[in-house]
Structure formats: structure tokens, C-alpha cells
Amino acid sequence: MTMEETQLKRSSAQTHTPKPSRPPMAAHLAPTKAKAASSPKHQFRLAPQQLIQIHDLMVKSRVLEERLIRMYKQSDGYFWIGGPGEEAFNIPLGLSVKKGQGPQFDYLHLHYRSSGILLAMGAEPISFIRQMKNVASDPYSGGRNFANHASIKAWNVLPITSTIETQYQTAIGTGIAQMREGGQGLTIVNGGDAGTAEGDFASCLVWSTRPNEELPILIIVTNNEWGISTPANTQHGESHIADRARAFNIKSRTINGNDVEESFFAIREAMDYIRKERKPYMIEARVSRLYGHSSASGANLVTNESDPLTLFEDQLESAGILSKQEMADLREKYNTEMLEMAKRVKEEPLPDASTIYDHVYAGQKGKYW
Ligand SMILES: Cc1ncc(C[n+]2csc(CCOP(=O)(O)OP(=O)(O)O)c2C)c(N)n1
């Protein structure tokens, strides 16, 4: 263990406020949040090379998020929020995107736990580190937005917002453009379970299913069973969030988003359907939230949630695809690389005050009115 890791563990131990133990889950919510089965000889459906690629990206994503948390704890950032615990779903999703600009490609209306999706699409970890440090070279917001609020025009990634759920509204817009355009491009929108209580989510269901005007949208809900500190089972009368799709005749599934292959094949099936039928599809993915809600709740590791990376690594080892040593070496490699990036970024300049109004209104660089 490096000195820095020891420090992180110690600081976690010192600052950790014991999480209130999760209230017993309502019986109807329990079965789908099962741990991925890890048999002595795990059988995969995907080819070894694909599994190794997914594992590499999952480790990269986890190490990046842990670096961002360290930066926050070392006062090299003002706020952290991110996606550790969602990698088994997010990496297969990012690898399935038809990446490019314009309506023939997929549009992404994401929320703040989506770094894994973007890394799988080819985003650079240093971009997230730059945004965390709010330096001028941050490619997503010029050093002006929160961590994990990406925006990548060339890949149809709309600016991620801190206001939850508004992405389900903007998704309608690109969905309409793609309905009119035809072709293969689809719109992807994701958000958490608590946010589905907001009207924007309902608007997305209504607008994506108007007769003869159906929209090619993949509606994703990543259900980690929490809305900051409010347990989901105190809020939902429906058995599964995905059941809300039924009233609109939207095809839907609830899956174990902690299992790589279950996620991979569910995403591919949904995307194939949408690309061909030009109709919406909803996936509710049951995922973990491994460092709490955000830095506002301490950003400390919680130990009572399944870790999808550990589950996948157990499967890879039992299938004889990677050894624990190889996987540990990979994590160490990314740890070293991202520590170096963070040191480099620390020396980069902050944005100049004159840029404060850039990008507020199109075509009015530097002006607010
Ligand atoms: C419109 C709006 N209302 C409230 C908030 C405050 N808020 C931030 S995150 C959050 C909980 C979101 O929970 P969920 O939708 O389950 O997503 P998760 O963070 O668990 O992934 C709330 C209520 C906000 N950012 N925006």
C-alpha cells in the first residue's frame, strides 16, 4: 500500500460517519439487487479479449473516481460527485454507443455518475481531473463547472447538469430530431431512482410514446436505492421503476447492473430494438453507490454494498482469464498514471476572470447581455 493510500484509508476511518443501516428492503424490491453469482468456474458468454477490455475500463474508471475523491480531500477541488459502483453497467453502455456528431449518431443526456460511460467512449481521465481542479484547460467547462459535468459536442454529449432530471426533457428534443431524420441514431438518457419522482421523467414517457410520433430513446434509470439520504423503499409504490413503462407500452427490463454480462446483453438488446423499431425502451439497472452520495456526505467507502469490480474480478479469476496479480498490477499502473496527472494539473492556471460569461449565450463570447 502506498503512503497516499494509507492516508486515504486513515482519513476515511477518521471522518467516516457510520451510515445508518439500510432499512429492510421491501420484499418486492429485493430479488433484482442480487449479487452477481461467482461460481468456482465462471462461464462467460463474451470473448476473453472483450472481457479484458471491459475490466481495463472498469479499473480505469474506479481509479479515476478515487483520484477525484483524493483531490477533493486534499483541497484540490471544491466538490465531488461521481459513479463508483456503476462500472459494470456504464462501461458496457459506453462501448455500445454509436459515437459521433449529429442525428445519425447517438445523443447522450447523462447525469453526474457517468464517467465510466465516457471513458469507455474514449474520454481522457485528465479531462475529468482538470474539471475537478477547475483549471482553464478543463475541456468540458473551462474550469467553471462541478466535477463529472462533462460536455462533448463532437460526440453528441450534452452538458451534464446539476439539476437532476432535466436531462429527460432535453432527451425529448434530440429524440424528435432523430425521429424526423430516420436512420440508426438513438438518444440515451440516464438518471437515478429518486429523480424519477420529478415531472421531467413523466414528460419523457409521454413525449416518447405519442401515437405515430414514437421516439428512439433509451430511457435508463440507475437505481442505487438512495436519493441522497432517502431510502427508495420509503418512496416507491410501484414494484419496479421499470413497471412505469408498461402504462405507455414501452418495452422495459429491470436488470442487475452490477453484473457485466447481464448489463452488456440487456443494453445491446435494447439498442438493437430502438435502432430498428424507432421506439423507446426502458432499462432499470440496479447498481451500487460505493462512496455515498457525494463529498457532501463525506465521500467515504461504504462496505455494505456489493462492489461490481470485485465481483467481476472474482469471475475473471475463476474463469482463468486474468490473475489477481495481473489485476492488482493494472490498478497500480492507473494509480501511478493518475497521480502524475493530478500533480501536473495542479500547476496549470485557473481561468481568467474575463472568461466568466463565455458560453452563457451562443455567439456572445464574454458577454452576458
Ligand atoms: C431539480 C433538483 N432537485 C433537487 C436536487 C438536489 N439533489 C441532488 S442529487 C439528489 C438525489 C438524486 O437521487 P437519484 O435521482 O436517485 O440519483 P443518485 O444521486 O442516487 O444517482 C437531489 C434530490 C437537484 N440537484 N435538482
74 φψ region: left (φ > 0), alpha (ψ -120 to 50), beta (else): alpha
Residue 36 has pLDDT above 80, yes or no: no
Please tell me the predicted confidence (pLDDT) of residue 361.
Answer: 81
Instruction: Identify the three-state secondary structure at position 32.
Output: helix
| CB of 194 sitting under 6 A from ligand 1 | yes
pLDDT reading at 74 higher than 90: yes
The pLDDT of residue 23: 39
**Three cell numbers, residue 271:** 439498442
Residue nearest to atom 17 of ligand 1 (CA): 192
Task: Return the domain boundaries, the chain.
Answer: 45-348
Confidence of residue 1 (pLDDT cuts 50, 70, 90): very low
Residue type at 363 in one-letter notation: G
**Ligand 1 pocket residue status of 216, Cβ below 6 Å:** no
In DSSP terms, 285 is beta-bridged to 222, 255
Whether residue 113 has its Cβ less than 6 Å from ligand 1: yes
Write down the pTM of the prediction: 0.90
Q: 149, 225, 228: which to mutate for ligand 1, most atoms within 8 A of CB? A: 228
Atom 12, ligand 1: residue with shortest CA distance: 227
Spacing, Cα 161 to ligand 1 middle (Å): 11
Q: What is the pLDDT of residues 247-297, one digit of tens each?
A: 999 999 999 999 999 999 999 999 999 999 999 999 999 999 999 999 999
**What does the pLDDT read at residue 332?**
98
What nine digits make up the cell of 318? 475463476
CA of 194 to the centre of ligand 1 (A): 7
Please give the number of the atom of ligand 1 that sits closest to the Cα of 223. Answer: 16
Quote the ligand 1 centre to 167 CA distance (angstroms): 12
pLDDT digits (tens, 9 = 90+) for 75-111: 999 999 999 999 999 999 999 999 999 999 999 999 9
Give the Cα separation of 154 and 275 in Å (integer). 21
pLDDT for 290: 98
Model pLDDT, residue 283: 98
**The pLDDT of residue 202 is above 50:** yes
Q: Give the CATH number of domain 45-348.
A: 3.40.50.970
Q: Is 296 close to ligand 1, i.e. is its CB under 6 Å away?
A: no
- φ/ψ of 257, rounded to 5, equals -75, 0
Q: Ligand 1 centre and the CA of 228: distance in Å?
A: 7
pLDDT tens-place string over residues 287-345: 999 999 999 999 999 999 999 999 999 999 999 999 999 999 999 999 999 999 999 99
Does residue 249 have its Cβ closer than 6 Å to ligand 1? no
- For 304, residues 6+ apart whose C-beta sits below 8 A from its C-beta are 19, 21, 22
**Cα–Cα distances in angstroms (integers) from residue 231 to residues 22, 71, 201, in the given order:** 8, 29, 19
pLDDT-derived band at 9, boundaries 50, 70, 90: very low
195 lines ligand 1 (CB under 6 A): yes
Q: Work out the average pLDDT over 189-197.
A: 98
- For residue 169, CA distances in Å to 97, 193, 206, 253 come to 20, 16, 11, 21
Q: Does residue 21 register a pLDDT over 60? A: no
Q: Which atom of ligand 1 is nearest to the CA of 196?
A: 15
* Tens-digit pLDDT profile for residues 115-172: 999 999 999 999 999 999 999 999 999 999 999 999 999 999 999 999 999 999 999 9
Percent of the chain with pLDDT over 90: 85
In single-letter form, the type of residue at position 64 comes to L
